[in-house]
A and B are shown apart, each in its own frame.
Chain A
Amino acid sequence: MVSSKLRVWDLPTKVFHWGLVLSFVAAWLLRGDRYLHLHVLAGYLFFFLLLFRLYWGLAGSFHARFSSFIRPLPEVWEYLKKATGRKAPRHLGHNPAGGWAVLLLMSLGLMISITGLLTLGVEEGHGPLAGILGREWAALFHASHQALAWAMLSMVGLHLVAVFRESVLHRENLPLAMLTGYKRTDTKARAENVQPHAAVALALLGVMLGFSLWWGRGYLLHSGNEPYLPFSGPMLSRNALWEEECGACHLAYHPSLLPRRSWNRLLTQQENHFSEDLYLDAGTISRLRAYAVTGEAGNTVTEASWKIHNSIPAAKTPVRITETGYWKNKHKDIPEKLWTRSDIGGRHNCTACHLDARQGWFEDGAMRIPFNEKNMTRIM
């Protein structure tokens, strides 16, 4: 025996393993609306690593190849029976149960990636699958994405338990082996060092780093007073008269945030506009009305308009965006003392937290609660 240690895992396999761990954890921690832009980056890296692993399962070094660790199911059954009796034989590469776990984890990962891209495309209108299906599919994709992520987390848990048990049983540190790539040789298995494939690993890291930098270029290159908006919404209608008349007293809420009947009611009862008399002439009112009804929420051009519109019962005609079910539900966790904070001022002040409120987009990634009055720029 030349050496007591053998290189079992090549560099690309190690990069894949730990890269997948990091991107999965990052995507999990950055779930939800606020960090959507970074969640999606983690998702792209996760997807890319899985696709690479599929290729590497065919073209990689011996222990990385599917053919070396996918065993027939009866063999897996035999192994599992021995493993429960703590008599599982040691394997240099993946054991028969572990091999199938790899496949299962990868399948879950790929399904998570695809449902994630579908959610991004259908619910948010972003990414390569933007708008391929109507928004009514969004809930299904989103729920599947979440359920699959939980399934993968459970599989990860099982994987950790198995790794721990096997490490104890054979008195070797398996997580360390996945870091160093080396395992001790005391089996009659293929006793050869695998190629490290450093160039492939470097290319893999390079592509991921390059993509991450490109993805985040807006944060790095951005300058000026306006905040950087990671997601740009659809082109929405604009109207100078609307901006001027509504914007004179408050944010000129985009017409896509309330249905047609609400705008009609608001403009009809202009003498009592939240207890102010607007005193606009008939011509101005009719021009404002024409603009509002063509851009109303029923067009469902944005995620917000679609969800607001769906949350209003047909018999109701809200005159406040904050009366709608979707708005209430989305803001239910915000404590009252935040609303009354001097730099926020109340529920009417969308711009306090939504950086793209003026555009009417209300993208998930453009929402943040300001820390204090100093970093708060009120642009209305």
Chain B
Amino acid sequence: MLEIRNLTKIYEDGTLAVDNVSFTVPDGEFLIVIGLSGSGKSTLLRCINRLIDPTEGEILWNGVDLAKLEGDDLRKARRKIGMIFQHFNLVSRSSVMINILAGRLGYARTWPTLLHQFSKKDREKAWDILRRMDIEDQAMKLARELSGGQQQRVGISRALMQDPEMILADEPVASLDPVLAHSILNYLEKLNKEDKLTIICSLHYLDLVQRYATRVVGLRAGKLVYEGTREDIRKMTDEEFKSIYGEEAERITDGIEGALERSELQ
């Protein structure tokens, strides 16, 4: 279980990105974080695996405060948290295989890995995951030669190599077309249901939120302004909507998509 308590992040330039946020994510949850661009979603996700150091607050994961970890302990904790990114963050000049094996770096011994040597077990694991992600035939290509959807599947594969218990997904489908977006989120849902992984995912499109989320939190200007289930989203009132997306946002139809289009424009 992940419990976030009074998390605050103030950047060096004084920007208050996350403002006293607290919430709890039970294991096996598919939590979706919504909010406008700049509302602090990315910062919040990166604070969880400490890519960004929080200014204050606790991040209790299975009883350990991630916010206090340093050095080896931090790296060991990170191994169990996979992360996928909006822009995939693959090493574009390395092969798909190397990109996926990189997910194993936290487990492998340092010196062999510096020469790109991985154990046979790790390599077999990588092939298994490649098969599962349907990109087996791309393994020896350079990452940059792949299409966007394929690249994101490599990104997921890399996260899976970590044997994660939780996956952080920072707007994983924002760079993809709607069809690919569904296919990627389907993968994540499968991981959530079949592998019982906890998933924390930030998203923009409320239709996707309705379809995949088991729980939703909304951020606005770094503050937690909404918490609810998938059903709550469907029944979301105008007020709740405006509390997340601002006074100027308007719901054009009853459907949430229209409202989103509008709010996205701003």
Task: Report if A and B associate in a common complex.
Answer: no
